[in-house]
Amino acid sequence: MNASLPLTLPELLQQSCSAFPDRTALAAVDGDSFSYGDVARIVWQTSLHLRSLGVEPGDRVGLLSENCPQWGMAYFSILALGAVVVPILPDFHPDEIQHIVRHAECSALFVSSRLAPKLEGTTFPHLRATIPIDAVGSSLPRIPGEQLAQVSPIASDSLAAIVYTSGTTGFSKGVMLSHRNIIADAVGASQIVDVGCSDRLLSILPLAHTYECTLGMVLPIMLGASIHYLDKPPTAAILLPAMKSVRPTVILSVPLIIEKIFKARIQPQLERPVIRRLLGMSITRKLLIGVIGRKLLDSFGGELRLFCIGAAPLAIEVEQFLREARFPYAIGYGLTETAPLVTGDPPSSTQLRAVGRPLQGVEVRIASPNSETGEGEILVRGPNVMIGYYKDPERTSTVLTPDGWFHTGDLGVVDSNGYLFIKGRLKNLILGPSGKNIYPEEIESVLNQFDLVIESIVYEHQNRIVAKAHLNYEELKRRFSLHNSSDHQVREHINALLEDIRKQLNQRLAHFSRLHRIIEQSEPFEKTPTQKIKRHLYH
């Protein structure tokens, strides 16, 4: 790492607080805001408070709260003490949260009032103190600064965070990330996206997820930008006024958010008979797509210049529209174990269906590539690759090679220009009867293009390829006048519709990957905080 760059996260914060003392750092939408100077003072005092409670360097301190300015200040105060932050996703079940607090042996815990009940009903032998997150910056006692003077210097390779993943397999792993891992990833990302001190970010993803924490908090703080937080889930009713208020220039998102906007607001326009005819002519197509694209930008506040998409594949018809509309999107690829970003590109060089090229200093290679397709497991090596899994050397040794290569478990291919294309998860791969590789994610991408299908999963059952699909029931009843129909009539109609979709879908698929059946999923699929379906629950 460049010697002029900060070696630890507290150093990174201190550099920005010195460079931008009066600029807004963290703010609640239509609520309290804190300048970089405020943040420096609050982080220092909160660290002193932790020390007065008996928290020592190297201790683990939990952080369980919804997104808010105090989350980031608590995060940096833990690190300033030389302790280790354990971010906990608010959507975790109480049993999982309690397991994390015990497994990490947390000596202290920041918690919001809404999430505190998730800790009830058990004891934590190592926990010395629970601190209300709202007290950060307001009601914590002021303590003389000399009490922190005894803290030993922090090494860049020392443990900074243990992030318990919410994966699609049902198993939560404690990913150990060093100061170097997180800073290297933020620095690498800053070299491919243009973010500066005049930017405003609207944070809509959980901070306890590495994607939002590294790229949505550490990176903008490093560059002096302002971050604005919602105090409620990012539904359309909450998001639209927030966009108007903040007028964000940068947003980090998962595909589901932009896909929902596309299906609800854009696709109906594109499917109007008059519009469809005009879209069939190249001259009017460019004009119409441009107009719709500008309206989409206006709905985000009118000043958006960078919309980052990660954590899951983006539907192809949505990406094609974004490209034609010149919407400033950028797609990246990463994992919690890589802090998280591995590949990415700015909007100007994004390639259709690609997830970008490796960050500077990060190596990507394909293990045992298929001789015909070039596809194989994606391996990553670089300063962003984790230390290992907490208290799990056996699992660590299965994914980290002695020479530093991390086995991602993802399948992909790299083209001649260095762009990475994701095919799917290795564990989801289906081997067809003819020996052909079948990628469920690719079939799902096509299936989800049907306007009445909201989301789906594809898997193998009794040597057949089947799908489960969750439908847009309101649109289905409206379109086919089913509001006054009996349950039996609705069920018959849905079964017929699913069979019709299956037949149409199979005409668009290779023979060896065609579906045997589509099963209705009446309730939305249960998802991780980054909106990936927990597939293991539905096979």
| pLDDT at site 531 | 73
What is the DSSP pairing of strand 517-520 with strand 464-471? parallel
Q: What is the DSSP letter of 137?
A: T
Q: Tokens in use for 123?
A: 């004891």
Protein fold of 429-537: GMP Synthetase; Chain A, domain 3 (3.30.300)
Listed by start position, the domains of the chain span 9-232, 254-327, 344-427, 429-537
pLDDT of residue 171: 55
The pLDDT of residue 2:
46
Determine whether 94 is exposed, middle or buried from the number of CB atoms within 10 Å of its CB (0-12, 13-18, 19+).
middle
- CATH class label, 344-427: mainly beta
Question: 288-306: string of b/e by CB count within 10 Å (b at 16+)?
Answer: bbeebbeebbebbbeebeb
CA distance 115 to 118: 6
Q: Which fold would CATH assign to domain 9-232?
A: Rossmann fold (3.40.50)
| Encoded tokens for 289 | 């797509």
pLDDT at 489: 75
**CA 244, CA 140: separation in Å to the nearest integer?**
34
Query: Same topology for domains 9-232 and 344-427, yes or no?
Result: no
- The distance from CA 75 to its chain's CA centroid, rounded to whole angstroms, is 18
> CA 267, CA 315: separation in Å to the nearest integer?
13
Helix axes 9-19, 69-80, angle to 10 degrees: 120
What is the predicted pLDDT for the residue at 444?
Answer: 87
pLDDT in tens, the chain (539 residues): 444 667 899 999 999 999 999 999 999 998 999 999 999 999 999 999 999 999 999 999 999 999 999 999 999 999 999 999 999 999 888 988 999 999 999 999 999 999 999 999 888 999 999 999 999 988 777 766 555 444 568 999 999 999 998 654 445 789 999 999 999 999 999 999 989 999 999 999 999 999 999 999 999 999 999 999 997 777 777 888 899 999 999 999 988 888 888 877 787 878 788 777 777 777 788 888 888 888 888 889 999 999 999 877 788 888 998 999 899 999 999 999 999 999 999 999 999 999 999 999 999 999 989 888 898 999 999 999 999 999 999 999 999 999 999 999 999 999 999 999 998 877 777 876 656 678 788 888 889 888 889 889 998 887 788 999 999 888 887 777 766 667 777 788 888 899 999 999 998 887 778 899 999 998 999 887 667 788 878 77
Ramachandran region, residue 439 (left: φ > 0; alpha: ψ -120 to 50; beta: rest)? beta
Q: What φ, ψ does residue 528 adopt, rounded to 5°?
A: -75, 170
Cα angle 421-422-425, degrees, rounded to a multiple of 5: 165
Report pLDDT for 197.
95
Cα angle for residues 260, 201, 319 (degrees, 5° grid): 35
